[in-house]
Amino acid sequence: MDGEFGGERAGGAREGRAHHHSQGGTADVLIGFRMRRARESLGASRQALARAIGDAGAHDVMCMERGWKRPTAIQVARAAEFLGVPLAYLFMDVRSLEDDARARAAAHLAEEIFALPDEQLAGIRRCVAAVVATHRGESS
């Protein structure tokens, strides 16, 4: 009988699993990478993220960020909420990692542009139109 003598616990988790590092799958590594990137962008510590997750310590967060420990669904949801990112961000396709920095930079630039007064925004629109036209080989 596995359940009582060191095999599986209720819910199917093996005893001691949280204390052993295993090689995570691609999804584990990706989720961890995104959690770390968002945490660092926020300027939050691993301990702060661990408190937000609720049932993890800073070491657990480090293991999750490195893909050594698989976070539970509720841990991922709590992490996304604390980090201020959509849950989908933590699960985006691995191939989109290269585009991630550009997307964040574009979003940040858009926020700054929309904060400008209307007359400056009109000037930026003209500049962007000229750059796009030049890029396409059109004349202004």
The domain ranges of the chain are 13-92, 95-140
Nearest to 32 by CA among 61, 72, 74, 73: 61
Q: CATH fold of 13-92, please?
A: 434 Repressor (Amino-terminal Domain) (1.10.260)
Residues in CB range of 27: below 8 A, 6 or more apart: 91
Ranking 84-88, 122-126, 134-138 by mean pLDDT, the lowest is 134-138
Rounded percentage of the chain residues whose pLDDT exceeds 90: 34
pLDDT at 26 exceeding the cut of 70: yes
Report the pLDDT value the prediction gives residue 13, as an integer from 0 to 100.
Answer: 38
**Calculated CA dihedral for residues 127, 128, 133, 139, nearest 10 degrees:** -10
pLDDT at 60 exceeding the cut of 90: yes
The residue-averaged pLDDT of 36-61 equals 94
